[in-house]
Amino acid sequence: MMKLRTIAHARAGDKGNLVNISVFAYRDEDYAMLVERVTEERVSELFREHITRPVTRYCVPNLCGLNFVLQRRPTDSVTRSLRLDAHGKSLSSLMLSMEI
């Protein structure tokens, strides 16, 4: 087992109650491991306290990346919360802490 950050980096952003988190393999040969181990189910479990609906994953093989769309309660959106940890950028750090 290792942390996701060992083989990948992430970018994130948010608008209202939607959060996008993209994960990109550092090396092309690690992309298959990302697809296998960083699933919608595992990401849903990781973010269970932050989201209201199932996570949607989009594979982007030409960039060796995965894009995840998370939905949270409207009251948890960045524009309605004073909590710093509500920002997508903070959530991408949580994503990289996932054990794979």
What CATH number is given to the structural domain containing 49? 3.30.1360
Mean pLDDT across the chain? 88
Question: Which of the four pLDDT bands, split at 50, 70 and 90, describes residue 89?
Answer: low
33-75: pLDDT as tens digits: 999 999 999 999 999 988 888 899 999 999 999 999 999 877 6
Range of the domain at 74: 4-96
Confidence of residue 76 (pLDDT cuts 50, 70, 90): low
Buried b (16+ CB within 10 A) or exposed e, 47-65: beebbeeebebeeeeeebb
Q: SS3 for the chain, per residue?
A: CCEHHHCEEEEEEEECCEEEEEEEECCHHHHHHHHHHCCHHHHHHHCCCCCCCCCEEEEEHHHCEEEEEEECCHHHCHHHCCCHHHCHHHHHHHHHCCEC
The pTM of this model reads 0.87
Q: Is the pLDDT of residue 92 over 80?
A: yes
> Into how many domains does the chain fold?
1
More confident residue, 16 or 1: 1
Q: Please give the pLDDT value at position 77.
A: 62
